[in-house]
Structure 1
Amino acid sequence: MRAIFGNRPGKRTSHRLVVEELGQAVVGGEFAVGDILPGDMELAARFNVSRTVLREAMKTLAAKGLVVARARIGTRVMPRANWNLFDGDVLSWHFNAGVNEDFLRHVAEVRLALEPYAAGLAAQRATDADIARMMRLAVAMGDAGHSAQTLAMADLEFHLRLLEASLNPFMRTVGSLIEAALMGVFRLTSPTADETEIDRVAIAHIRIVEEIGRRNEEGARSAMEHVIRVGQERLITNLRTQETGR
C-alpha cells in the first residue's frame, strides 16, 4: 500500500515513478547497501523512460542520501547512516517496507525532543487567530464520523499548524517526520476508528490548545508530551498484535 501522506494522490510523472520505485527498492532491501544498481540502459528500459529522466531521478535519490554515482563504477547504494531520515519519502518508504518497535521508538524520541518545545514556543508566540484555528482543528478531531484515515489526517493537520504557530521556521521543516509518524497510526490501526479513541484523541489535543491559550509553556509542553507518549504506546501495542496475529 502506498503512503497515505508522503506520496500525494494523483498522476505520477515519469521522474516520480522512477524515484519511488527505486527508492522503495533500496529502503526495502531489494538492493542492499553496497550494491551497484543496474545500468542506465537496463533501468531506462525497465521504467520506459529516457536516460535524461533516469539521471534526474538518480540525482534526487542521491540528494536523499540513498545512492552515490561514480564514474566507471556505477551507482552504489549508500550505508543507512547516510540516508536522510527527515526526508518524507525516505520515511514513507520505511513504513511501506515495514517497521519494528525500535524504529517507532526512534521516531517518538525525535518527536519528544522537538514537538513539546514547539508547543512551549507556541504558548509564547501564537496569535489569537493561531490559537482559534488550532482549537477548531482539535475539536474537529472529535467528529464521530471519522475513519482511522481521516482521524490521522486531522491529527497531522493539527500538528503541522502547531509547528507553524511556534514561529520557528526550522520547526516546520520537521513536518515530514511528523507526517510519517502519524501515517504509522493509520497503517497500524484498523480501517475504522473506535468512538472512544476518537474522543480520547480530541480531548488530549484540546488540552494542548487550552494550555497554549493560557500562555502556559510548561503546561503546553507537558500536554504535547502526553499525546506523543500515549500514541507511541498504542502504536507499539498494535504492532505487536499484528505480529502475533491476535
Structure 2
Amino acid sequence: MDMSSPHPSLTPSRGNGQVVSAHDQIVRSLAQDILVGALAPGDKLPMEAELLERFGVSRTALREALKTLSAKGFLSVKTRVGTRVSNSVHWNFFDKEVLGWRVAAGMDAQFRRHLAEVRQSLEPTAARLAARHRTEADLEAMRQALDWMRREDRSAFEFARADLALHLAIGAASQNPMIRSVAGVIETALLEAFTLSPPTQAPDLHHETVQAHVRIVERIAEQDEEGAAQAMLAVIDAGYQRVEAERSPTR
C-alpha cells in the first residue's frame, strides 16, 4: 500500500475561499483513507516520520490530528503496540464530520442503502411527531422552505439547501431534540450528495418533488400523524429509487 503521496481530496481550502488548517487536512485525509479501506481495521498507522513527510506539517500538528481521530473512534493507541486503525463498530456515522468525510469519499450503493434505511426509520417518525406538536410558527417555517424549493428550479445545490431547511423545520416541530439532532446530520450528508440526481434536472421532476413535499406539510398542518409519516416515507423512497435508477449499470 502506497501511503507516500497525499490523498486526492486533501486540499488547502473548502471550495468557498476558507483556508483549511493543517490539522483538519490531516484528519480528513487519514479518515478518508480509513473509510475507503486504504487503511483497514487492525492496520498499523505508518511511522510518524513517514506521516510528517507525507503531510509536511509539524510534529505537534500531526499528534493533535491523531488525537482527534482517536477521539472519533478511528484509531486505537496502545503502549508498545503503536497506533492501529480501530474496528468499524467504533466509528460514529452520526458525527457530522465523519458522515461528511464518508460522503466526500464516495457514496457507493451499500452506503446509499444504509443512509436510506436510516432515513426511512427516523424521518417518518419526525413527521408524525411534527403533526402532533406543530405550532403556527413551525408551519410558517415549513411553508417558507416550500416557497424556497419552488423558486429553486435551476441550482441543484440551492434546491438541496431549501430541501434541508424543510426537513430541519419538520425535525424542530417534532419537539424531540434527539430526532432533531440526528435528522440534521443525515440531511447535511444529503446536502453534500444531492448532485447525484437533482430534481432540478427537469421541470416536471422539480414540480413533482416539490408537490411531494407539499403533501408532507399539508398532513402536518392537518395533524394527520399517519398521513404525514406516509408522505415523508414516499419522498424518501422516491428520492432513493431515482438515484439508484440513475446509477443502474444497465443505463
State if a TM-score over 0.5 links the two structures. yes
Q: What letter corresponds to residue 151 of structure 1 in structure 2?
A: F
1:154 aligns with 2:162: yes
1:180 aligns with 2:157: no
Relative to the length of structure 1, the TM-score reads 0.87
Which of the numbers 203, 206, 211 marks the counterpart of 1:203?
A: 211
Question: Does the CA contact (< 8 Å) of 1:164 and 1:172 recur in 2?
Answer: yes
1:29 aligns with 2:43: no
Which of the numbers 227, 230, 239 marks the counterpart of 2:238?
A: 230
Q: What letter corresponds to residue 117 of structure 1 in structure 2?
A: T
Which of the numbers 39, 62, 82 marks the counterpart of 2:90?
A: 82
Mapped to 2, the partners of 1:144 and 1:127 lie a distance apart of 26
Deviations 1:179-217, CA, capped at 9 Å, x for gaps: 21343332x236963212211121111111111111111
Question: Does the CA contact (< 8 Å) of 1:85 and 1:91 recur in 2?
Answer: yes
Shift of 1:144: 5.1
Which of the numbers 7, 12, 20 marks the counterpart of 1:12?
A: 20
- Aligned match of 1:69: 77
Closer/same/farther in 2, CA of residues 88 and 234 from structure 1, 3 Å limit: same
Which ranges in structure 2 are unaligned for 5 or more consecutive residues? 1-7
Alignment root-mean-square deviation, CA: 2.2
Mapped to 1, the partners of 2:89 and 2:224 lie a distance apart of 38
Question: Does the CA contact (< 8 Å) of 1:87 and 1:177 recur in 2?
Answer: no
- Aligned match of 2:61: 53
Q: What letter corresponds to residue 72 of structure 1 in structure 2?
A: R
- Aligned match of 2:228: 220
Which ranges in structure 1 are unaligned for 5 or more consecutive residues? none
Report the more deviating stretch, 118-127 or 95-104.
95-104
SS in 1 for 2:84: strand
Question: Does the CA contact (< 8 Å) of 1:139 and 1:206 recur in 2?
Answer: no
Closer/same/farther in 2, CA of residues 144 and 98 from structure 1, 3 Å limit: closer
- Aligned match of 1:108: 116
Shift of 1:85: 1.6
Question: Does the CA contact (< 8 Å) of 2:119 and 2:236 recur in 1?
Answer: yes
Shift of 1:132: 0.7
Relative to the length of structure 2, the TM-score reads 0.86
Closer/same/farther in 2, CA of residues 158 and 192 from structure 1, 3 Å limit: closer
Question: Does the CA contact (< 8 Å) of 2:157 and 2:191 recur in 1?
Answer: no
Give the number of equivalent residue pairs. Answer: 238
1:126 aligns with 2:134: yes
Q: Give the fraction of aligned pairs with identical amino acids, expressed as a percent.
A: 42
Which aligned segments of 4 or more residues in structure 1 are displaced greater than 3 angstroms?
A: none
